[in-house]
A and B are shown apart, each in its own frame.
Chain A
Amino acid sequence: MIADSTHCGSASCDALLRPGNTNCAGCGMSLGLRWLGEALEGNAPYLVIPACCGIVTAGAFPTTSYGAAVAASTFASAPAFASGIASVLAMNGDKNPVICWAGDGGTYDIGMATLSAAAERNENLIYICYDNEIYGNTGGQRSSATPEWVRTSTTARGKLEQKKDIMAIMAAHRIPYAATLSLAHRDDFLGKVQTALETRGFRFLLMLSPCPTGWKSEPQESIELVREAVLCGLFPVYEIFDGRRFRINVRPETTSPNEYVSRQKRYGLATTDPQRLQARIADQWTRLESLEWEFPADPSQEQLHGELSESVAPGKAALSEPPQEFGNASQTSDAESNQDPPQGPLVGRRMKGSADEVRTAAHH
């Protein structure tokens, strides 16, 4: 009786996101859910989805587009609901992963306190933010994830403020794992979800999620746009372990965001300042590369840096042993370029090999 009036469901567990769902063409979330389903490899999850496009995706009662156990949460509460579910699963020995699937509004804005608290408690759950940089579900209003200069229905002349650095915020919680996901880098994406699934505690994944209706872009270009965002450095693809060890997975090829920006009408020509955008990207990379240099994910790299850059990194203890890991083939090309300490704004000096080669080196 109760189930009749509250649940949508079906007995068959097929795909995580079933065909015939209501997502718009070119929605980044669709591919993200498909890849998430692949990475789960039949490990049935509990999904908690707050108010956002992701719950509209379920479609109308009594059907659902999700091939998983899904709880819709109130807007700010996904990590709280998930904490309750994860607690009860743990005390009953259930191993199924608990995953929050939330938009940027529910993550950067209204859900910030709840997210922070669940991260601080190191709840055993995975939080994935599909970030379309807008309140997409309500027709495209600004959020604190909306980039500077972008026009939304509440920032007609372009947003004046910069996008919130959610990864830095999550890293400051010292959670075991945080990473960004690119829909243009499939192996990297799947590998990171796998890493998240194999890690215990609070895990945070940030996925740039194109929204053609909000971005005023062409649906068939969504993946290309993500690739552009990654390759111009606007959306860095990296991971952070324990909030303090960094690994950059894909390095930019250029610092010009022109290709990315010009293909989306949300970046108005009159409102966007390409020079300042480029400078912002460069700043972002200076900071990120410094962090990776100082706090590499691979401890052997840290020792290596200590040896090679004492003058640039004062206070580093001298190596007691020679850096034997230097000979590791898969790391060589990257390690060589890493011999240079970061030098101000990045000018495409790092990119060697394809993104997925770098990824492979990092993960295996």
Chain B
Amino acid sequence: MSRMLLTGNYAAGKVLALAGEANRGARGCASGAYPITPQTEIIEVLSDTQFTKGRIVPVESEHSAMGVCIGAALAGARAFTASSSNGLAYMTENVFCAGYYRLPIVLIAVNRTLGPPWNIWVDQGDSLTLRDAPWLQFYSDSHQDLVDTILMAFRVAEDHRILLPSIVAMDGFIISHMQMPVEIPDQSQVDRFLPLCDMPHRLRAESPSTIGGLTWPNETEKQRRDIQSAMERVPAVLREAADSFESVFGRRPDEAVVPFDTEGAETVLIASGTMAQTLRGVIRERRKLGEKIGMLRIKMFRPFPRREVLAAIGGAKRIGVIDRNHSPGSGGIFWQEVAATLQPKHEALVQNYIMGIGGGDVRPAALNGVIDDLTRRSSATDPIWKEVAA
């Protein structure tokens, strides 16, 4: 393990390379790689890596990037790639395909506003459009969390009880381009943490079979329910993986939901990504002033950790969900999930705040404004837009 000052992109590329190399004793690794801001540095790092058994394929589009990953995974390799924004949108068809084929691919999503108009800054709307794909989704809040989550994502995705691909998201620029000190594990540690990738349903020339032929509704129903069952097994498998992570790396990674000061809290804020980091500082200050206030960061968005969210909210009376994303005609996407989790049993007021759209900088003052609004509120209203950009 060595501590380095790295951009989030570089760290992500480095960890993908370590994970790929860790499969040299099995079928190796492969990636279809295509550049897009702000993700590009990741594929540059990968393309510059000498693998014992691996290949980075420089494709012509994100659609093919995922296509190469699918082919590689079908042939038994550990497969991964990265993209952002319109690249993820262009990749979408094959993103669904990878999930329905139960291929444990890891995709790094560097969150960027979907265009047009063209905007390169952070907004979670790109990876959240993939929320209905059969993929796990994790939103990291720091460089270290990003590194840890990528390793955890491979471990959980490749577990035979799961066999579903996984998205690990980071905030564009705020994490991708900022340099921060981060612990990068040694190859030997990654080798110990990640078992060799064993795809039970990989294609084998010697035993003819067809993957992806025609199915009738009854078979399709079964396949979709199998996926749902696998999703429901994720929290337990994630916990096991965290135990193993702790024994190998000597620290415990953040899990699905990260509560902060929720004990006895009457007001609970919910956020994700780096906004949650800023929010934690604000909550700490207001706690010092005696306010019964806490927060939770939702790190795992798929499967949505309903039990963990309910447990963390406890008996809070007011819930404020802050979204750096927007589903037109509805509201924030984390809010939709939280509201669906709490209703109809929970009595709490749930208010949505949409902030930082298009990469607007969410500062403590703006978050204090949200808390002021929420604590004064006796009933919820439609999602509230807090425009933070100057």
Please, which residue of chain A has its CB at the minimum distance from the CB of B55? A87
Does residue A211 face the partner (Cβ distance < 8 Å to B)? no
Least Cβ–Cβ distance between B332 and chain A, in angstroms? 31
Least Cβ–Cβ distance between A62 and chain B, in angstroms? 8
Interface-forming stretch among A2-10, A163-171, A285-293, A327-335? A2-10
Whether A7 contacts B63 in the complex (CB less than 8 A), given A69-B205, A84-B75, A96-B205, comes out as: no
Cβ contacts under 8 Å, B362 to chain A: none
> Which B76-125 residues sit within 8 Å CB-CB of chain A?
76-77, 79, 93-94, 97, 100-102
Interface range for B: 35 or more
Whether A70 contacts B71 in the complex (CB less than 8 A), given A6-B102, A88-B30, A91-B53, comes out as: no
Least Cβ–Cβ distance between B111 and chain A, in angstroms? 25
Whether A84 contacts B70 in the complex (CB less than 8 A), given A6-B102, A77-B64, comes out as: yes
When the two chains form their complex, are residues B207 and A5 in contact, meaning their CB atoms are under 8 A apart?
no
When the two chains form their complex, are residues B74 and A71 in contact, meaning their CB atoms are under 8 A apart?
yes
When the two chains form their complex, are residues A114 and B67 in contact, meaning their CB atoms are under 8 A apart?
yes
When the two chains form their complex, are residues B205 and A68 in contact, meaning their CB atoms are under 8 A apart?
yes
When the two chains form their complex, are residues B210 and A7 in contact, meaning their CB atoms are under 8 A apart?
yes
When the two chains form their complex, are residues A88 and B28 in contact, meaning their CB atoms are under 8 A apart?
yes
> Which A245-271 residues sit within 8 Å CB-CB of chain B?
none
When the two chains form their complex, are residues B71 and A61 in contact, meaning their CB atoms are under 8 A apart?
no
Cβ contacts under 8 Å, B54 to chain A: 91
Please, which residue of chain B has its CB at the minimum distance from the CB of A77? B67
Interface-forming stretch among B218-226, B337-345, B382-390? B218-226
When the two chains form their complex, are residues A68 and B208 in contact, meaning their CB atoms are under 8 A apart?
yes
Interface range for A: 35 or more
> Which A41-62 residues sit within 8 Å CB-CB of chain B?
44-46, 48, 55-56, 58-62
Cβ contacts under 8 Å, B66 to chain A: 80
Does residue A74 face the partner (Cβ distance < 8 Å to B)? yes
Least Cβ–Cβ distance between A116 and chain B, in angstroms? 7
One of B68, B100, B163, B210 near A80 (C-beta < 8 A)? B68
Mask, B203-223, CB within 8 Å of A = 1, is 111111111111110010011
Does residue A73 face the partner (Cβ distance < 8 Å to B)? yes
Cβ contacts under 8 Å, B79 to chain A: 84
Does residue A172 face the partner (Cβ distance < 8 Å to B)? no
Please, which residue of chain B has its CB at the minimum distance from the CB of A114? B64
Cβ contacts under 8 Å, B206 to chain A: 13, 44
Cβ contacts under 8 Å, B69 to chain A: 84
Cβ contacts under 8 Å, A10 to chain B: 208-209
Does residue B200 face the partner (Cβ distance < 8 Å to A)? yes
In whole angstroms, what is the CA distance A96 to B204 when docked? 10
When the two chains form their complex, are residues B213 and A84 in contact, meaning their CB atoms are under 8 A apart?
no
Mask, A277-297, CB within 8 Å of B = 1, is 000000000000000000000
One of A7, A13, A88 near B75 (C-beta < 8 A)? A88
Cβ contacts under 8 Å, A113 to chain B: 60-61, 64
Cβ contacts under 8 Å, B61 to chain A: 113-114, 117
Cβ contacts under 8 Å, A11 to chain B: 207-208
Mask, A63-91, CB within 8 Å of B = 1, is 01011111111101101111111111111
In whole angstroms, what is the CA distance A14 to B386 when docked? 66
When the two chains form their complex, are residues B210 and A70 in contact, meaning their CB atoms are under 8 A apart?
yes
Please, which residue of chain B has its CB at the minimum distance from the CB of A65? B210
In whole angstroms, what is the CA distance A46 to B71 when docked? 11
When the two chains form their complex, are residues A60 and B208 in contact, meaning their CB atoms are under 8 A apart?
no
In whole angstroms, what is the CA distance A89 to B298 when docked? 40
Whether A92 contacts B71 in the complex (CB less than 8 A), given A5-B222, A66-B210, A69-B208, comes out as: no
When the two chains form their complex, are residues B64 and A117 in contact, meaning their CB atoms are under 8 A apart?
yes
Q: Is the interface of A mostly helix, strand, loop or mixed?
A: mixed
In whole angstroms, what is the CA distance A242 to B69 when docked? 28
Cβ contacts under 8 Å, A71 to chain B: 70-71, 74, 203, 210-212
Please, which residue of chain A has its CB at the minimum distance from the CB of B64? A80
When the two chains form their complex, are residues B213 and A58 in contact, meaning their CB atoms are under 8 A apart?
yes
When the two chains form their complex, are residues A59 and B74 in contact, meaning their CB atoms are under 8 A apart?
no
Least Cβ–Cβ distance between A200 and chain B, in angstroms? 16
Whether A6 contacts B212 in the complex (CB less than 8 A), given A84-B73, A116-B60, comes out as: yes
Cβ contacts under 8 Å, A77 to chain B: 63-64, 67, 70, 94, 97
Please, which residue of chain A has its CB at the minimum distance from the CB of B204? A69
Does residue B32 face the partner (Cβ distance < 8 Å to A)? yes
Whether A80 contacts B71 in the complex (CB less than 8 A), given A5-B222, A60-B216, comes out as: yes
Cβ contacts under 8 Å, A3 to chain B: 200-201, 209
Whether A5 contacts B219 in the complex (CB less than 8 A), given A48-B71, A84-B67, comes out as: yes
Does residue A1 face the partner (Cβ distance < 8 Å to B)? yes
> Which B214-250 residues sit within 8 Å CB-CB of chain A?
214-216, 219, 222-223, 226
Does residue A121 face the partner (Cβ distance < 8 Å to B)? yes
When the two chains form their complex, are residues B102 and A2 in contact, meaning their CB atoms are under 8 A apart?
yes
Does residue B269 face the partner (Cβ distance < 8 Å to A)? no
In whole angstroms, what is the CA distance A83 to B94 when docked? 15
In whole angstroms, what is the CA distance A65 to B87 when docked? 36
When the two chains form their complex, are residues A56 and B214 in contact, meaning their CB atoms are under 8 A apart?
yes
When the two chains form their complex, are residues A9 and B207 in contact, meaning their CB atoms are under 8 A apart?
yes
Besides A1-B226, A69-B207, A85-B75, 19 other A-B contacts (C-beta < 8 A): A6-B201, A9-B210, A10-B209, A46-B205, A59-B214, A72-B213, A77-B63, A77-B94, A80-B32, A83-B64, A84-B30, A84-B74, A84-B77, A85-B203, A88-B71, A88-B72, A91-B28, A113-B64, A117-B59
10 pairs, CB–CB < 8 Å, chain A vs chain B? A2-B201, A6-B211, A71-B203, A73-B212, A74-B94, A81-B68, A82-B71, A84-B75, A84-B79, A114-B60
Give the 5 A-B residue pairs with the shortest CB-CB distance, closest first.
A84-B71, A80-B67, A9-B209, A72-B212, A117-B60
